[in-house]
Amino acid sequence: MNAQGMRRKALRAAFPHTIPIFTGFWFLGLAYGIYMNVSGFSFWYPMLMSLTIFGGSLEFLAVSMLLSPFAPVQTLVVTLMIQARHLFYGISMLDKYRGMGWKRFYLIFGMCDESFSINYTAEIPEDVDKGWFMFWVTLLNQFYWVSGSTLGGVLGSLIAFDTEGLDFVMTAMFVVIFLEQWLKEKKHYTALIGMGAAVACRLGFGADSFMVPTMVCILLLLTLGRKPIEKAGGLV
């Protein structure tokens, strides 16, 4: 097969995996663009931020940062706290993103929650190039996000929302990915650790500041429980 055929084949394999994300990202992206528009920013702000940051929760938060007095250090601290979960994604992807050549840079650059989740769990057919598959997943996802937020920024408050509840598509997707992973593994120690730690920290620290404590708890429990977890062979 020639190079073009290989790329096209990978695109055809990748696209169906991104359909839920198209729905979710267009909805959330539109909402984000509209939010920026009504906050007084031109459409190229959400476009530029979606292209360069490509992280929904931080981009939403950045709107209020941009409307507040200039505070670079605080901005950096908040950014690192919100985005710290990428460290976990990176550690999990060390092997899968190895030897991807120039694509590797973009794969890491565009490693949002959704692209990581699909690229980690998707069962890529033997005859499809893994590098191109993951590249397309990442690129399509970013395209959905950038186009959605730009459109929202252009149209602004002209759009009327009768799509209440559509954002649940993201929750449903993560539920399904979690379930798939659950069905694949023999023991569920780490899944339960992740969910349990997050629930406990959400109750203890509140909705806005529970992620960093959650990650610390997960790291601690996985480290302390390494022997029994490895011994039980509960890892895929």
Q: Which of residues 20-79 bind other proteins (CB under 8 A)?
A: 20, 23, 48-49, 52-55, 58-59, 62, 65-70, 72, 75-76, 79
* Radius of gyration, CA atoms only, the chain: 19
- Note whether 212 binds other proteins by CB under 8 A: no
Q: Is the separation of the CB atoms in 185 and 86 below 8 Å?
A: no
Exactly one of 26, 32, 97, 136 binds other proteins (CB under 8 A); that residue is 97
Of residues 6 and 185, the one with the C-beta less far from other proteins: 185
- Residue numbers 4-23 binding other proteins by CB under 8 A: 16-17, 19-20, 23
Interface size with other proteins, residues (CB under 8 A):
94
Of residues 10 and 118, the one with the C-beta less far from other proteins: 118
Of residues 1 and 199, the one with the C-beta less far from other proteins: 199
Of residues 157 and 168, the one with the C-beta less far from other proteins: 168
- Note whether 224 binds other proteins by CB under 8 A: no
Q: Is the separation of the CB atoms in 184 and 35 below 8 Å?
A: no
Tokens standing for residue 152: 């929202």
Nearest to 18 by CA among 130, 150, 117, 99: 117
Give the nearest distance from C-beta 151 to other proteins in angstroms.
20
Residue 187 φ/ψ, nearest 5 degrees: -115, 150
Draw the binding track, 98-117, toward other proteins (x: CB under 8 A; -: no contact): x-----x---xx-x-x---x
Of residues 4 and 64, the one with the C-beta less far from other proteins: 64
Long-range contacts of 79-87 (CB under 8 A, 24+ apart): 81/209, 81/211, 81/212, 82/55, 82/57, 82/58, 82/211, 83/55, 83/58, 84/211, 84/212, 84/215, 85/113, 85/211, 85/215, 86/111, 86/116
* Rounded-to-integer distance, Cα 115 and Cα 112, Å: 5
- Residue numbers 136-175 binding other proteins by CB under 8 A: 163-166, 168-175
Draw the binding track, 173-202, toward other proteins (x: CB under 8 A; -: no contact): xxxxxxxxxx--x--x-xxxxxxxxxx--x
Give the nearest distance from C-beta 114 to other proteins in angstroms.
9
